[in-house]
């Protein structure tokens, strides 16, 4: 039986190739995700381990370790003397860390699409950093820059750069380039080393340090206890390995999100692939009914027939999964190369390929294929051998369609109920996350609709094919009849495309609604003439000196500033933003209770929602500076970013973040806009890595960012669309084999090869458009439900033009999918085709 399984798998080339491609694509998607994220994780694990290997203990202001992105408060320089005087301390240094903006020797900003530019002080204790060329920074204006940035930006020893921290532009001289344990950069980050004195000037830390690094000649825990006892409350003495573990855990959370995000789309591809595989096995089993009946007649049991089909599926999936693993490793290398080509630095080192990743890829392919082939295998085993060997036997159809109604109806209803519960019902805290209800409901609804698709396939295919029949004559009529002839096959084939296009429709509606909402909010509430913001991803903020300079301009009548930070609320990380009164005036918020003008010491504004406390209630949060704080709610707003708002004074009391994230500028009514803009641009000309935008440019950037996210989602969904298209190809190829005699008779009575190709092509278009229509209807339902569930924060907008384009794309996919099957059908030898079977 095993030999029969291997021969059956290898003997049906069309099924082997199409199923292999479907499984291979899906497995490659999964493996590439696992390999890429595992490589990132391992690289940064090694980086953090090396980065904290030069010292034993770090001393810093006390801060909750859950505040991953927050900066602890500076420590006074006097603490360094205290630490150095303690028993067991062999060496101690004070270091300064912060974010910089940098201008190259040619006057252009030095930026990257990766991490922000990190300013550090040259280490006195052992470190992975060492000078590759030149010398360490020793003078008041000396800096050393990582070798990767020096090479990329053509920076040489002796060149003059401009560095900006918390003050104005400062000219510095490059004394050398730095390598990190032989690597050109530390995890791809742009790093700039300076003396302690220069770092303190750049980051406004005169007489203070960011942290202290300690080398001990005694037991670490004992020395750490002495340090904390000597310094008193408000300080942490953390072992280097514990510090590295905290950094790694924070990064692992980010990697975990990326992995989950991409694996969701890999799951969609597998889900679509299951429909394709199931349909292909159904068709091939129908074609092999006599063959299987003969096996039954000579002694094979029903269980053996079922196991034979599953074994064939296993052979195909195993071969395809192994190829998919190889393809996934290649895809992971390509992803890293794409990041490098886009100037997004990633850690160097080999790809991390584990046995677990390979096993997960192979197991995924085998399990999905076996699961998809299970129902066709069971049906193959249930056919009576005597009936199957009769001339003209066809499996029963009406009863199966009635069964589909009984199965598909409840599944669809259950799926819709799951979606409604997940989107609209307020669940208790002990219940699973609503996203599980949404995911399970969507999967159940897809399966239910796919089951019901066979029920409606005949009338819908007839309706969609009527224009084809009217315009294409005989070939169009035959194409329409072929699509209607096997409703189960047509329904399942269309369902594979339906799932992909439904998700595409959902993304299109969400994206268009987000764009519409952004445009409306900016048009209604954006009152500033200009907005100043960081350019690119290489800067988390910019010097507050810019706001002071702009405020002093005669052309400017009002300036609003915003800073962003992180706090903990009920143990969960939340963003908090500090704004000046001018910011809340120039970016009007939709306040539903209280007033933002009441923001002051000890107060907070919250966004409206199920968990938002009313005006007058208290909010307890853990801040980076000062720890636990209780703030009184003075305003509740809606339709704006999901963050807490506090006054700038409260923000500065609670956070060490001193960089401005945005500045809003309003000109005097008598000032011409272009004159005002030129005045602002000239005033801040020495500050790199900032952009000055008017309302239109800011709105275009906001919608452009939405477009970038949408394009990424489309790219991820493209894999499932390709798999759905492969399903159409496979079905048409197998149906050509099934209809060999019929095609031969059509050719014998005068149909030309061109007409045969057109017939197959139009049949494919009808099936693809059927899937597109189903997908569009479900996608619109999904999109409307999600937008309504989000509420007033998102304004519903249906992109009719985009949805129409995707229907045309479905038709085009049908034409492309039919190209090879149509050519094969047209090339059939007439006499051999008539004599087939």
For 183-224, write each residue's pLDDT tens digit. Answer: 788 767 789 999 999 999 999 999 999 999 999 988 889 999
Q: Work out the pLDDT band at 339, boundaries 50, 70, 90.
A: low
What CA–CA distance (Å, rounded) separates 311 from 315?
6
Distance of CA 774 to the CA centre of its chain: 26
For 562-613, write each residue's pLDDT tens digit. Answer: 999 989 988 788 889 999 999 988 987 888 899 988 999 999 999 887 577 8
Closest CA to 491 of 531, 534, 447: 447
What CA–CA distance (Å, rounded) separates 647 from 5?
72
For 238-283, write each residue's pLDDT tens digit. Answer: 988 888 777 777 677 767 777 787 888 888 888 888 888 887 777 7
pLDDT of residue 401: 65
Give me 760's structure tokens.
């197959």
What CA–CA distance (Å, rounded) separates 723 from 67?
42
Sign of the Cα pseudo-torsion (51, 53, 54, 60, in order): positive
pLDDT of residue 589: 81
What CA–CA distance (Å, rounded) separates 220 from 444?
56
**H-state helical runs in 93-175:** 147-152
Q: Are 147 and 179 in contact (CB under 8 A)?
A: yes
Q: Are 340 and 111 in contact (CB under 8 A)?
A: no
pLDDT of residue 312: 80
Lowest-pLDDT choice from 51-65, 141-155, 726-740: 726-740
CA dihedral 717, 718, 723, 726 (to 10 degrees): 150
More confident residue, 83 or 300: 83
What CA–CA distance (Å, rounded) separates 311 from 323?
18
Q: Are 520 and 670 in contact (CB under 8 A)?
A: no
HSE-up (13 A, CA, CB side) for residue 831: 0
Q: Are 419 and 462 in contact (CB under 8 A)?
A: no
For 529-561, write each residue's pLDDT tens digit. Answer: 999 998 865 557 899 999 999 999 999 999 999
pLDDT of residue 523: 74
Contacts of 314 (CB under 8 A, 6+ apart): 5, 366, 369, 370
Give me 53's structure tokens.
């290997």
What CA–CA distance (Å, rounded) separates 288 from 132?
70
Q: Work out the pLDDT band at 165, boundaries 50, 70, 90.
A: very high
pLDDT of residue 526: 82
Angle at 283 between CA 278 and CA 287, to 5 degrees: 145
Q: What share of the chain is helix, strand, coil (3-state, %, to 5)?
A: 60, 20, 25
What CA–CA distance (Å, rounded) separates 763 from 652?
67
What CA–CA distance (Å, rounded) separates 361 from 513?
37
**DSSP 8-state class, residue 117:** E
pLDDT for 479 beyond 60: yes
pLDDT of residue 390: 56
HSE-up (13 A, CA, CB side) for residue 297: 12
What CA–CA distance (Å, rounded) separates 424 from 418?
10
In 10 A of CB 171, how many CB atoms?
A: 11
For 729-757, write each residue's pLDDT tens digit. Answer: 887 877 777 778 888 888 888 889 899 99
For 637-685, write each residue's pLDDT tens digit. Answer: 886 566 789 999 999 999 988 999 999 999 999 999 999 999 999 999 9
For 749-799, write each residue's pLDDT tens digit. Answer: 888 989 999 999 999 999 999 999 999 999 898 888 888 877 666 788 889
pLDDT of residue 632: 94
Closest CA to 754 of 471, 475, 477: 475
For the chain, give me the number of helices (H) and strands (E)?
23, 24
What CA–CA distance (Å, rounded) separates 619 from 607?
12
pLDDT of residue 88: 92
Lowest-pLDDT choice from 303-307, 328-332, 471-475, 507-511: 303-307
What CA–CA distance (Å, rounded) separates 539 from 428?
40
For 16-59, write each residue's pLDDT tens digit. Answer: 777 788 888 888 888 988 888 888 777 767 666 666 777 889 99
Angle at 167 between CA 139 and CA 176, to 5 degrees: 30
Q: Are 732 and 757 in contact (CB under 8 A)?
A: no
More confident residue, 315 or 157: 157
pLDDT of residue 173: 96
CA-to-CA dists, residue 263 to 30, 41, 385, angstroms: 6, 16, 44
pLDDT for 326 beyond 80: yes
The DSSP line for 522-560 is HHHHB--SEEEEE-SSS-S-B-THHHHHHHT-TTEEEEE
Residue with tokens 């960011």: 210
pLDDT for 371 beyond 70: yes
Closest CA to 366 of 450, 262, 277: 277
Closest CA to 675 of 806, 529, 812: 529
More confident residue, 641 or 715: 715
The DSSP line for 210-268 is SEEEEEESS-HHHHHHHHHHHH-TTEEEEEHHHHHHHHHHHHHHHHHHHHHHHHHHHHH
CA-to-CA dists, residue 532 to 667, 709, 834, angstroms: 14, 23, 76
Residue 444: exposed, middle, or buried by beta-carbon count in 10 A (0-12, 13-18, 19+)?
buried
Closest CA to 401 of 322, 488, 314, 460: 488
pLDDT of residue 68: 74
Q: Work out the pLDDT band at 837, boundaries 50, 70, 90.
A: low
HSE-up (13 A, CA, CB side) for residue 597: 3
Strands 57-61 and 211-216, sheet pairing: antiparallel
Closest CA to 50 of 147, 128, 138: 128
pLDDT for 398 beyond 80: no
Q: Are 566 and 69 in contact (CB under 8 A)?
A: yes
What is the residue-averaged pLDDT of the chain? Answer: 84
Lowest-pLDDT choice from 159-163, 377-381, 440-444, 693-697: 377-381
Share of the chain above pLDDT 70, in %: 89
pLDDT of residue 715: 83
pLDDT for 721 beyond 80: yes
Give me 450's structure tokens.
């796919």
Model pTM score: 0.77
Q: What's 283-303 look like in SS3?
A: HHHHHCHHHHHHHHHCCCCHH
pLDDT of residue 713: 84
Contacts of 758 (CB under 8 A, 6+ apart): 472, 475, 476, 479, 822
Residue with tokens 């369609």: 401
């Amino acid at each position: 039986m095993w030999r029969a399984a291997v021969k059956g798998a290898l003997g049906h080339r069309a099924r082997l190739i199409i199923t292999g491609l479907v499984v291979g694509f899906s497995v490659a998607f999964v493996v590439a995700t696992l390999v890429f994220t595992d490589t990132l994780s391992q690289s940064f694990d090694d980086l953090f381990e090396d980065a904290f290997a030069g010292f034993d203990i770090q001393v810093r202001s006390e801060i909750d370790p859950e505040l991953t992105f927050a900066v602890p408060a500076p420590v006074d320089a006097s603490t360094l003397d205290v630490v150095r005087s303690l028993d067991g301390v062999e060496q101690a240094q004070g270091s300064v860390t912060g974010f910089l903006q940098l201008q190259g020797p040619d006057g252009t900003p030095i930026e990257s699409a990766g991490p922000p530019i990190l300013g550090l002080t040259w280490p006195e204790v052992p470190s992975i950093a060492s000078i590759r060329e030149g010398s360490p920074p020793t003078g008041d204006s000396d800096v050393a820059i990582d070798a990767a940035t020096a090479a990329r930006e053509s920076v040489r020893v002796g060149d003059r750069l401009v560095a900006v921290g918390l003050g104005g532009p400062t000219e510095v001289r490059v004394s050398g380039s730095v390598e990190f344990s032989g690597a050109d950069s530390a995890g791809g980050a742009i790093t700039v080393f300076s003396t302690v004195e220069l770092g303190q000037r750049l980051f406004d830390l005169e007489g203070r340090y960011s942290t202290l690094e300690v080398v001990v000649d005694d037991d670490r825990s004992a020395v750490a206890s002495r340090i904390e006892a000597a310094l008193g409350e408000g300080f942490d003495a953390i072992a280097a390995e514990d510090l590295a573990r905290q950094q790694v855990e924070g990064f692992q959370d980010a990697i975990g999100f990326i992995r989950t995000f991409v694996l969701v789309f890999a799951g969609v591809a597998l889900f679509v692939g299951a429909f394709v595989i199931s349909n292909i096995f159904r068709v091939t089993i129908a074609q092999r009914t006599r063959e299987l009946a003969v096996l039954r007649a000579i002694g094979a049991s029903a269980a053996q027939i079922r196991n034979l089909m599953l074994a064939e599926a296993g052979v195909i999936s195993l071969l395809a999964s192994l190829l998919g693993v190889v393809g996934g490793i290649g895809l992971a290398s390509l992803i890293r190369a794409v990041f490098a080509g886009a100037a997004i630095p990633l850690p160097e080192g080999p790809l991390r390929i584990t046995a677990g990743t390979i096993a997960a890829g192979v197991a995924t392919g085998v399990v999905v294929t076996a699961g998809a082939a299970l129902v066709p295998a069971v049906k193959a085993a249930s056919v009576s051998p005597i009936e199957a060997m009769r001339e003209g036997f066809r499996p029963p159809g009406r009863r199966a369609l009635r069964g589909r109604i009984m199965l598909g109806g409840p599944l669809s209803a259950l799926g819709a109920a799951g979606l409604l519960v997940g989107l609209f019902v307020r669940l208790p805290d002990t219940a699973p996350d609503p996203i599980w209800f949404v995911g399970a409901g969507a999967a159940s609804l897809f399966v239910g609709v796919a089951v019901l698709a066979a029920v409606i396939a005949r009338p819908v295919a007839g309706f969609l094919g009527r224009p084809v029949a009217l315009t294409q004559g005989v070939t169009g009529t035959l194409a329409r009849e072929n699509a209607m002839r096997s409703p189960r096959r047509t329904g399942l084939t269309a369902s594979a495309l339906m799932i992909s296009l439904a998700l595409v429709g959902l993304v299109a509606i969400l994206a268009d609604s987000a764009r519409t909402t952004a445009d409306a909010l900016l048009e209604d509430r954006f009152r500033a003439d200009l907005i100043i913001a960081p350019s690119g991803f290489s800067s988390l903020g910019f010097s507050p000196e810019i706001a002071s300079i702009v405020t002093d301009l005669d052309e400017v009548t009002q300036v609003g500033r915003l800073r962003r930070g992180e706090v903990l609320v009920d143990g969960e990380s939340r963003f908090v933003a500090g704004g000046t009164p001018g910011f809340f005036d120039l970016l009007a918020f939709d306040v539903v209770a209280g007033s933002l003008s009441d923001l002051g010491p000890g107060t907070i504004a919250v966004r409206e929602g199920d968990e938002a406390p009313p005006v007058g209630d208290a909010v307890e949060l853990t801040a980076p500076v000062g720890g636990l704080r209780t703030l009184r709610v003075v305003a509740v707003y809606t339709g704006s970013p999901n963050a807490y708002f506090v006054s700038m004074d409260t923000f500065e009391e609670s956070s060490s973040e001193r960089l401005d994230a945005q500045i809003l500028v309003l000109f005097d009514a008598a000032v011409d806009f272009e004159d005002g803009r030129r005045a602002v641009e000239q005033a801040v000309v020495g500050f790199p890595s900032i952009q000055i935008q008017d309302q239109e440019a800011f709105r275009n950037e906001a919608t452009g960012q939405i477009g970038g996210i949408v394009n990424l989602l489309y790219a991820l969904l493209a894999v499932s669309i390709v798999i759905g298209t492969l399903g159409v190809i496979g079905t048409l190829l197998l149906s050509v084999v099934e209809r060999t005699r019929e095609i031969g008779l059509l050719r014998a009575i005068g149909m030309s090869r061109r007409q045969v190709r057109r017939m197959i092509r139009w049949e494919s278009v009808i099936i693809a458009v059927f899937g597109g229509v189903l997908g569009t209807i479900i996608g619109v339902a999904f999109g409307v439900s999600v937008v309504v569930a989000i509420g007033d924060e998102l304004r519903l907008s249906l992109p009719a033009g985009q949805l129409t384009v995707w229907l045309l794309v479905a038709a085009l996919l049908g034409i492309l999918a039919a190209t090879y099957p149509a050519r094969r059908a047209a090339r059939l030898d007439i006499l051999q085709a008539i004599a087939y079977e």
